[in-house]
A and B are shown apart, each in its own frame.
Chain A
């Protein structure tokens, strides 16, 4: 009985060991700094070619936008960054981002993630982090 209990405990430990060894952050699974940079650049490309939303970026400092979004995605996905930009409410006030604008941006992001062959699970993990920002970003 004791031996059997010990065996079960040992098996559990091995399983736990395995699962913690394969546990990675979303940041790592997306390809770390390079992967995030590719997503952000891909998204900038999509925005530039999307007549539905490109006008919102007419007066934006694209260099700063790129740096801040990279930093934010790195921070959100568990990477070694601390987002230093302004809050989502602050940075979107006056833009009156509509539901259709938000949908268009999400659609752009999905296109980029599909193109980069990010797994569905990791795509959904990233969407789960970004989708709730709608309330801070829209209609301000």
Chain B
């Protein structure tokens, strides 16, 4: 369904090619949870190119492919005034070698509290809430998850520093997240013996080679609440190509560590985003 919406929106793209006033690339891309950010980390930036008093809509589709699993994500976001971001994403996690799949819905709101990414000494700071709901809870429950619903809250700070690396601009982002999600919620939330929120750090650093091209790295700390298998932190190295203010393409090499007892899951990430 969501794939069909994204395809529909992409097909209409040439006919609706308008964009807001924000400078290209400053809306970031859309992460797997549907929030403006990098690939796996939500940033303080607001999705799309809506500056003050403008609105913007984005649609994205992404795929992560690692040794024994794949994750397809797709979604839409609406933002207003470079202040509010509302988004919905659907994820489908396929257990390629074990068989079966797990899906979840993610409803998010982000609010830009202070600072301007490019223009103030203070970083841009935003607060976000993600409400996740499992559509398939059989397997997560069987491996010990306590709940099929969870809500994450995060505080993110993002800043572009001009003329830093060989004359290029540098984007730094730090995100603090409170979560009890197992494998970002795909394996449910919490467990019988560990059902507390944990404070986790996520970070990104990117160099803007020019106005359209960024390369960077990301790190995402994760909880480890399920006894059946260890959960590890995620990392990636990405390149994002902002073709124009309407389309961006992102590719990454990802290292997701062990997942559900399957060791050292590495592979690729590809994402397409359309913005109006």
A contact set with B: CB distance below 8 Å: 52, 98-100, 102-104, 106-107, 110, 114, 119-122, 124-125, 127-128, 131-132, 134-135, 138
Contact = CB atoms under 8 A, between A and B. Distances in A.
Contact of A106 (B23, B82, B163): B23
B152 interface: no
A120 B167 contact: yes
B21 A104 contact: yes
Contacts, number: 64
Interface stretch (B60-68, B112-120, B235-243): B112-120
The 7 nearest A-B residue pairs measured at CB: A121-B167, A134-B119, A128-B162, A100-B51, A99-B52, A124-B163, A103-B21
B168 A124 contact: yes
A99 B116 contact: yes
B31 to A, nearest CB: 23
Interface of A is mostly: helix
A125 B119 contact: no
A121 to B, nearest CB: 2
A124 B163 CA distance: 5
B53 A102 contact: no
Interface residues of B, number: 23
Interface string B33-59: 000000000000000000111100000
Interface in B156-188: 162-163, 166-169
B21 A100 contact: yes
B167 A119 contact: yes
Contacts of B169: 124, 127
B51 A128 contact: no
Given A99-B82, A106-B23, A131 B118 contact: yes
B97 interface: no
Nearest to B166: A121
A134 B51 CA distance: 14
B211 interface: yes
